[in-house]
Each structure stands twice: as structure tokens, then as C-alpha cells.
Chain A
Amino acid sequence: MSTTTFEAVETGAGSAGGTRLGWALADSWTMTRRELLHWARQPVQVVVGLAFPVMLLLMFGYLMGGGLGIEGNYREYLVPGMFALTMAFGLDATMVAVTQDLNKGVVDRFRSMPMTNGAVLVGRSAADMLQSLLSLIILMGVGLAVGWRWHGSFAAVLGAMGLLLLLRFAMLWMGIHLAMVAGKPELVMAVQILVWPVSFLSNAFATPESMPGWLGAVVEWNPMSATATAVRDLFGNEGGVSTASWASEHASLLAVVWPVVLVAVFFPLAVRRFGRLSR
């Protein structure tokens, strides 16, 4: 028994380039599968995670919708904002998951095994993106149910979804890095609390024009606002790209640039940090 298993392990980690890539993919899939198994074992947690943004959307749409001073159909304005907000809140979900993982002994075992180094992070990333896609589809369904419509082409809809998931991807790597820097659940809680005001300091619920000048400027430059504006534009909803300001005029560009910059910064930081857990 001992010799046979050993041979398998030896060939498994073979040095050929193709095999290495093959195992990297296999390891990444194993780690993604681990997250999916968690979902299967804790369906309630998954449902709560998916229901939370739906609850926020209904709350803002019905409870506060009247009071926010948006002309026209507020839900047409709000719903795309809620999509962006949900993507931004993903930061929080990722951080909690990473912190929980790192504080468990299981990551030590992963790191003492001959598996591909980054597979743990890739697994997290794949699972979170899948969850966000699911969440977005559900939220779009609820949006349609409460009267939101898209007026653009199907390609524009897909483009909007792409921009939203791009924002989520940026939040993902930011979250992984911040979780590793913070390390302890208590510090993660501080970031979790900060996610709220930062997300609300956007144009998700109200237009920057309705705010005091300085606040409106801050709000316009929030990466989340750029995504919300660009997405509203693609869906053909109110509050799309306008000439009200430079940021608003170039929202579509910013909706790509912001997340790409965030990923360019936090992806290498996160990967390096993970590799340096050994110091």
C-alpha cells in the first residue's frame, strides 16, 4: 500500500509544464468544490446570504423610496444601484470567509501539502464569483417583479452584468488582502462596519446633485457610483451617463478602470501575502 500511493504522489507532482498546469487547475477545482460542499451543508446560510440584498432592495424601494427626492420612477433608479451595492457588500462576505479560514487549522494542512500554492485563493474567488452571479440573477428577477425594466439590448444587459461582476472581482481581491492583513475576526468587524458608510456614500440611493456640493463630489468619485451609473446607462434606466460632471460623463470608462486598478493593486498584494504566511 505504501509504495503504490507513493508512486501516485510522485507522478502527480510531475515536473512537466503541462502536468503542472493540469494540477493547478485540478487543485483549484478541488478548493472550489470545497466551498460548494459548504453551501450544500449549510443551505440556510446560503439562503440568508442571497436574501439579504433582496431585503435591502425591497426596504429601500418601498419604505424609503418616496422620501429620497428622485424624479420619475425611483425603482428604475434604485434597482441598478442595489446591484452595485450588492457587489460592493461582497467585500464583507469575502473577508469573513477568508478570516474564518485562516483562523482554522485547515489552511496549515493545505500549506503543508504539495498542492498548488494559490489554489486556496482561487477556490475562494471562484465560489464568491459564483455566489455573486447567482445573487445578481435573483436580484434582477426581484427587480423585474417590483417594476424595474431594462430598455437596452440583450448585449447591453450582459455588458452591465459584466461590469457589476468586475466590481465584485475587485472587491474580492481587496477583501482577501484586507482579511489577511487584519488577520483577526475583531479587526474584520471594523472593516465590515466601514463597508456600510462607504457603500452608502455612492449614488446607489440618491443622485449626487441632491447632496451638498462637497459630498456630491465624494460620492461621484466612489468606484461604486461609476459602476452604478454605467450600468444604469446600459440598462437604459434613469441616472445614466450625463454631462453633469467629469466623473458622470466618463462613468463607463471609470467603471472599468476603477476595478481594474483595484485588482492590479490587491491581487499581487494578496498573493504575496498568502505566500508570506510562512514568515
Chain B
Amino acid sequence: MTDAITVEGVRKTYGARKALDGLDLTVARGTVHGVLGPNGAGKTTAVRIMATLLRHDEGHVRVAGYDVRTDADAVRRRIGLLGQHAAVDEDLSGRQNLEMFGRLYHLGVRRARARADELLGRFGLADTGSKAVKQYSGGMRRRLDLAASLITDPEVLFLDEPTTGLDPRARGEVWGAVRSLVGGGTTVLLTTQYLEEADQLADRISVIDEGRVIADGTSDELKAKTGGDRIDVVLHDSAQLAAAAVLLPGEASVDEDRRMVSAPVADRMAALTQVVRALQDAGIEAEDIALRRPTLDEVFLDLTGRGTEVKEDA
């Protein structure tokens, strides 16, 4: 068996609300799988079920070869979990936390201590001394949390929105740590609201909405499906917006407030030169031209015909 995670037809309801409505997911061993979706799509529910924290109503879930319902302990021995909120004891120091978790993973006292030191060093926390975790910065706390989920070198690591609420620098730190892990053969399931994050880290991406997968594939495949990169052109004069929209390749959208036209592009550099030249020829003055990845909102608009704002917050 080569799949690290298989999820088949999983349903979970909270009262009348369907959190998961027939979720299917397969993650090959040693890969990074991104689960992308807006708030309330069911990402966290799915992770909590896979990590044995929550029971599903229907369907089958196997993680690292074991059924999460009937073999929860076997699964727990093989997984690491980084939840949305820091799952460490904030009143203890980083070392005390890692040593405690090591003991609870039954490493024995001596090994738990050695492992704590090793992980503190690896995540740049060796000099935190006896400082309580609540005095850590957001990025440090996240790194400690990540270190705690790696105490046993898990076969499967769940990262539930690992960078939500972090500043760009801390986000970069977490990304770096995740990349270095993947080299070691760990299977990673990553949920995120940021397309860029999935793009940066994941081999394959599943887009989920209302508890179901609505699209999946590699980042490139999804981009091909949803129009890929976009070009934004901000004009000097909003009267020329309609004229500029015609010049762009593909179907352009117009944002009057920002004096901007935007369109999907297939080939980034070719599109850029082409648009610059076309604008020049037409005598339209551009204030700014930028190439960028589509936002989650635009992907959703393409896949579902509606944006993410209407979604209820979970």
C-alpha cells in the first residue's frame, strides 16, 4: 500500500449543518498535499477526523495504513499534528514542553530530554532557556508547535493552516521548516486559505468547498483549469478602462474604483510584453502593470461561479 492517507465518502454533521459532505481524498506517501478552501469549507473538521480527534458519521479514513476509528492508537503513534491554535503548554518553557511530549510518546526520560534539545536546536529555539512559551513571538510559538509534532518523526504530518495569523517573516520561517521536512520522507497534509502557500509547498492540491472536493490536481493543472496567472493594469484615466479591457488577452474584468483591468494569462512574460505594446499603440497610459497569481477568491469564482465572501465563517 503506497497511500499515506485515504479518505472515502466521509460525512460529518453538526446538528443541521453538514461540515463534511462526502469528502474523498488520497495522499501518496512522501508527498505534500494541500487542502485549499475558504473558512467553513470543512478543512479543520477533516484534519481533526484524520488525526483521531473527532469521529466521522459515515465513510472510511485510513492514515498510515490504519483505520482512524478502530485503530486510533496505531494512527496516533504515526502522526504529528500542528493545529490552528498553538497546542503547547503556554505556562511551561519550550524545553519543558518538548520533554513532556517526549515522555508521553514513551521515549523514556533520558531520550525525551535528548530529543527536546535536538529539536530546540533544529528549530532555532535553543537559546530560549526557561522562558515561558507565552512570552514567545508568534513565529517562535509556531516553530515550537511544529517541533512538538515532530517528536517521533511521524510518518504523516497534519498542518492545519500553519501560517494563518503570522506575519510574512514568521510565515517564511514555517515554510522553510516544512520544506526541510519533506526531504526526510514525511507525508504532509497541509490545509490553507492561501493559494500561494499551497502553490509553494504542495505537490498536489485539493480544493474543497462545503465539505466536498470540487477540484484537485497539481498546482499547474489547477491553474490551467482556473486560468492561472493574471495580469493587472492600473490606468491613469478611468475613461479608457473599456478600451484597455479589449486589448487584454482572455476575458478581462474591470474594477472602476481602482481604475484597474485584470485578465488571466497563459504565458507570463509573453503576455506582459504584448500588453505593454498594445497599450502603447493605443495611446493608453498605464500607471502600473503587474503579474500575479490568482487569489483564492478568483479560483473559487472560476470553480464555483461565486466568490468566497458569501461563505459562512466556521
Q: CB within 8 Å of B: which residues of A?
A: 1-2, 5-6, 8-10, 12-13, 23, 26-27, 30, 33-34, 37-38, 41-42, 104-106, 108-115, 119, 277-279
A13 & B184 in contact (Cβ 8 Å cutoff): no
Given known pairs A112-B51, A114-B73, the reply for A37 and B92 (CB within 8 Å) is: yes
Q: A26-B103, A105-B86, A112-B81 are in contact. List 4 more A-B contacts (CB 8 A).
A: A38-B92, A41-B91, A41-B92, A106-B90
Among candidates A33, A105, A115, residue contacting B88 with C-beta atoms closer than 8 Å: A105
B92 lies within 8 A of A9 (CB) = no
Q: Is B104 in contact with chain A by the CB < 8 A criterion?
A: yes
A residues in contact with B101, CB < 8 Å: 109, 113
27 A-B residue pairs with CB within 8 Å: A2-B153, A5-B111, A5-B152, A8-B106, A8-B111, A12-B105, A13-B106, A26-B103, A27-B103, A30-B100, A34-B100, A38-B92, A42-B91, A104-B87, A104-B89, A106-B89, A108-B53, A109-B81, A111-B52, A112-B51, A112-B53, A112-B76, A113-B105, A115-B104, A115-B106, A278-B55, A279-B55
Select from chain A the residue with minimum beta-carbon distance to B130: A41
Do B77 and A10 have beta carbons less than 8 Å apart? Answer: yes
- In the complex, what's the smallest C-beta–C-beta distance from B203 to chain A, in angstroms? 20
Residue of A nearest to B54 (CB): A278
Contacts of B149 in A (CB 8 A): 109
Q: Is the CB of B83 within 8 A of A23?
A: no
Q: How far is the CA of A104 from the CA of B133 in the complex (A)?
A: 13
Task: Determine whether the beta carbon of A278 is less than 8 Å from that of B53.
Answer: yes
With CB as the reference atom, state the residue of chain A lying closest to B99: A30
B296 at the binding interface (Cβ < 8 Å): no
Which residues of the other chain, B, contact A104 by a CB distance below 8 angstroms? 87, 89-90
Q: List A contacts of B100 (CB < 8 A).
A: 30, 33-34
Which of A5, A23, A42, A113 is the most central at the interface, judged by chain B CB atoms within 10 Å of its CB?
A: A113
**Contact of B87 with A113 in the complex, beta carbons under 8 Å:** no
Task: Verify A114–B105 contact, CB threshold 8 A.
Answer: yes
Q: Which residues of A contact B55 (CB under 8 A)?
A: 278-279
Assuming the A-B contacts A13-B77, A109-B148, A112-B76, are A8 and B92 also in contact, with contact meaning beta carbons closer than 8 angstroms in the complex?
no
With known contacts A105-B85, A105-B87, A115-B104, A41–B115 Cβ distance under 8 A: no
Which of B87, B92, B107, B111 is the one whose CB lies under 8 Å from A109? B87
Distance, CA A205 to CA B132, complexed state (A): 42
B residues contacting A by CB (< 8 A) are: 51-55, 73, 76-77, 79, 81, 83, 85-92, 96, 100-101, 103-108, 111, 115, 132, 148-149, 151-153, 184-185
Residues of B within 8 A of A279 (CB): 54-55
Of the listed residues A1, A42, A105, the one surrounded by the most CB atoms of chain B closer than 10 A to its CB is A105
Most buried by B among A5, A37, A119: A5
Alpha-carbon gap, A104 to B55, bound state (A): 20
B153: which of A1, A111, A115 is its contact (CB, 8 Å)?
A1
With most chain B CB atoms within 10 A of its CB, the pick from A34, A106, A277 is: A106
Determine if B106 and A114 form an interchain contact, defined as CB atoms under 8 angstroms apart.
yes
From known contacts A2-B184, A34-B100, infer whether A108 and B88 are also in contact, taking CB-CB under 8 Å. no
CB pair B79–A112 under 8 Å, yes or no, is yes
Which residues of chain B are within 8 angstroms of A2 by Cβ–Cβ distance? 153, 184-185
Chain B contacts for A26, CB-based, 8 A? 103, 106
Contact A106 B152 (CB under 8 A): no
Chain B residues whose CB sits within 8 angstroms of the CB of A8 once the complex forms: 106-108, 111
Contact assessment for B88 and A106 in the assembled complex, using a CB-CB cutoff below 8 Å: yes
Which residues on B sit within 8 Å (CB–CB) of A23?
A: 106
Q: Do residues A34 and B106 form an inter-chain contact, with CB atoms below 8 A?
A: no
With A42-B91, A105-B83, A108-B53 given, is the CB distance from A9 to B103 under 8 Å?
A: no
Query: Measured between alpha carbons, how far is A1 from B152 in the docked complex, in Å?
Result: 9
**Least CB distance, A34 to chain B, in whole angstroms:** 6
Contact A110 B104 (CB under 8 A): yes
Closest 7 CB pairs of A and B: A12-B106, A105-B87, A109-B87, A105-B85, A2-B153, A114-B76, A115-B104
CA–CA, A226 and B86, complex, Å: 45
**A97 CA to B81 CA, complexed, in Å:** 24
> What residue of chain A has the Cβ atom nearest to residue B85's Cβ?
A105
Q: Output the least CB separation between B88 and chain A (Å).
A: 6
Of chain A, the residue at the smallest CB distance from B185 is A2
Residue on B with the closest CB to A33?
B100
Q: A6-B153, A9-B77, A114-B73 are in contact. Are A109 and B88 (CB under 8 A)?
A: yes
* Complex contacts, B83 vs chain A, CB 8 Å: 105, 108-109
Q: In the complex, are the beta carbons of A30 and B76 less than 8 A apart? A: no
Residues of chain B lying within 8 A (CB to CB) of residue A106: 87-90
Bound-state Cα–Cα, A42 to B100, Å: 18
CB distance from B163 to the nearest CB of A (A): 16
Complex CA gap A158/B21 in Å reads: 60
| Docked pose: A111 CA to B151 CA in angstroms | 15
Question: Which chain B residues lie closer than 8 Å to A110 at the CB level?
Answer: 104
A41 near B53 with CB under 8 A, answer no
Collect the chain B residues with CB atoms within 8 Å of residue A41's CB.
Answer: 91-92, 132
Chain B residues positioned under 8 Å from A34 (CB to CB): 89, 92, 100
- Nearest-CB residue, chain B, relative to A111: B53
Q: What residues of chain B lie closer than 8 Å to A12, measured between beta carbons?
A: 105-108
Residues from chain A with a CB closer than 8 A to the CB of B132 are: 41
B88–A9 CB distance below 8 A? no
Determine the residue in chain A with the shortest Cβ distance to B79. Answer: A112
Minimum C-beta distance from A26 to chain B (A)? 7
How far is A2 from B152 in the complex, measured between Cα atoms in Å? 7
